[in-house]
Amino acid sequence: MKSFFAVASLFLLIDAHVLSRADQGTDPAVLNFALTLEHFENAFYRQGLQNFSEYDFKCADFPPWVRGRFQQISEHEQTHVDFLTTALKAAGATPVEPCTYNFPYTDPKSFVDLSAAFETVGSSAYTGAAALIENKDYLTAAGTILVVEARHSSWVDSSVKEQNAWSGPFEVPLDPNAVFTIASSFITACPESNPPLPAKANPSLAVAADARPGQEAALTFEDSGNSSSLFLSFLTSNGPASSPITINGDQKTATIPESVKGTVFAFVTNNNETVSVNNTVAGPALIMFPFGPDGKLLN
Ligand SMILES: *[C@@H]1O[C@H](CO)[C@@H](O)[C@H](O)[C@H]1NC(C)=O
Ligand SMILES: *[C@@H]1O[C@H](CO)[C@@H](O)[C@H](O)[C@H]1NC(C)=O
Ligand SMILES: *[C@@H]1O[C@H](CO)[C@@H](O)[C@H](O)[C@H]1NC(C)=O
Ligand SMILES: *[C@@H]1O[C@H](CO)[C@@H](O)[C@H](O)[C@H]1NC(C)=O
């Protein structure tokens, strides 16, 4: 009942009759992209909470309130799935079905770390998709979801991980291709009957786990050899930053700019202008440089 009322009351924000079925433009595709992400998060939390009991969280040194809050988050994601599915059907569109996933956590701690990453990506995905939504009622509905994803993200980062609740004054807007690049690395297969998404994964980028601002880091990506110079370019909550990539045989490295901190997105670009779909060669990779109340990097 609870989730029915949540869907019913939120649904008042979207008057499906405002749209004639022939004139919805790209909104159904954008809503299906959002639904793809909600299915992803919904599966992640449902599976993780099935895998790990109250006792497992306790043995992993988490306080007793942590799992119950994750349960609430899990219910939100299910409600978002129901809501978007209902909205798409009301608009005469076919909602996407869930994919199968491979979430690489091994214990409650790595589950929490993945949750922190996914909630940040979710917040950036909704922020980036805002400009693609044409109907203002959909925009308001998407805003109500965006803010709750951001609350989840802050709760995981600050209450559970005892790190920074935010990364800076602005959320990073990610375009759908960038979002799908990250999400698709955890997706094994999607139903062939799903309508096509307005997103295509970029070539992947991995940045060495020991990467630190101000230090050189090893990079892994496919170099097509088309560009004479490549850059490791960041989108961060504190603005863009970039540094040249050095390629030496198989070794690719770049110095992580001193200025980056918090949760950041790294791309390989073929110029050092701000990252866009036009200069992206690979990525993004999501990297976390958590910082303390004094602004200094932790660990
Ligand atoms: C969690 O559950 C899924 C689905 O049952 C299973 O495939 C996976 O191996 C489990 N992971 C852990 C760490 O228990
Ligand atoms: C790079 O060059 C290869 C081979 O010439 C070509 O197939 C590919 O499309 C090029 N990629 C880009 C991004 O221009
Ligand atoms: C971009 O790269 C050019 C040369 O490759 C350099 O002169 C310029 O300072 C760089 N700009 C920024 C903002 O890093
Ligand atoms: C990308 O390039 C196209 C074609 O030149 C241009 O219309 C568009 O504004 C560019 N987008 C960005 C984000 O720079």
Angle, CA of 138, 240 and 199, to the nearest 5°: 40
Strand partners, 219: 207, 252
Q: Which of 278, 279, 280 for mutating ligand 4's site (highest number of atoms within 8 Å of CB)?
A: 278
Place of tokens 């990610």: 174
pLDDT of residue 226: 75
Rounded Cα distance between 66 and 108, Å, is 10
Phi, psi of 260, deg, nearest 5: -80, 140
Check: CB of residue 204 under 8 Å from CB of residue 283.
yes
- State the distance from the centre of ligand 4 to the C-alpha of 272, rounded, in angstroms: 15
Check: CB of residue 76 under 8 Å from CB of residue 2.
no
227 — pLDDT class (breaks 50, 70, 90): confident
Tokens of 5: 């009322």
pLDDT of residue 10: 40
Which of residues 213 and 250 earns the better pLDDT score?
A: 213
- State the distance from the centre of ligand 4 to the C-alpha of 247, rounded, in angstroms: 28
Q: pLDDT tens, 14-31?
A: 333 343 344 568 899 999
Angle, CA of 119, 121 and 122, to the nearest 5°: 60
Which of residues 75 and 248 earns the better pLDDT score?
A: 75
Check: CB of residue 268 under 8 Å from CB of residue 232.
yes
Angle, CA of 159, 164 and 167, to the nearest 5°: 135
Q: pLDDT tens, 155-210?
A: 999 999 999 999 999 999 999 999 999 999 999 999 999 999 999 999 999 999 99
Q: pLDDT tens, 1-10?
A: 333 333 333 4
83-96 average pLDDT score: 96
Q: What percent of the chain has pLDDT over 70?
A: 92
Q: Is the CB of 276 under 6 A from ligand 4?
A: yes
**Which residue owns the Cα nearest ligand 2 atom 12?**
226
Q: E strand or H helix at 6, and its extent?
A: helix 2-11
Rounded Cα distance between 200 and 196, Å, is 10
Q: What percent of the chain has pLDDT over 90?
A: 88
225 — pLDDT class (breaks 50, 70, 90): confident
Ligand found nearest the CA of 177 = 4
Ligand found nearest the CA of 279 = 4
pLDDT of residue 185: 95
Q: Is 76 exposed, middle or buried (0-12, 13-18, 19+ CB in 10 A)?
A: buried
Domains by residue range for the chain, with CATH? 2-189 (1.20.1260.10), 206-289 (2.60.40)
Is beta strand 280-289 parallel, antiparallel or unpaired with respect to 262-269?
A: antiparallel
**What residues have CB less than 8 Å from 88, skipping those under 6 apart?**
28, 31, 32, 35, 94, 95
3 state SS of 233:
strand
150 — pLDDT class (breaks 50, 70, 90): very high
Q: Is the CB of 229 under 6 A from ligand 2?
A: no
Q: How far apart, in Å, are the Cα atoms of 205 and each of 116, 137, 181, 250?
A: 20, 36, 9, 14
- State the distance from the centre of ligand 4 to the C-alpha of 100, rounded, in angstroms: 34
Q: Is 293 exposed, middle or buried (0-12, 13-18, 19+ CB in 10 A)?
A: exposed
- pTM value is 0.89
Residue 220 pLDDT greater than 50, yes or no:
yes
- State the distance from the centre of ligand 2 to the C-alpha of 222, rounded, in angstroms: 11
Residue 12 pLDDT greater than 60, yes or no:
no
pLDDT of residue 183: 97
Check: CB of residue 28 under 8 Å from CB of residue 93.
yes
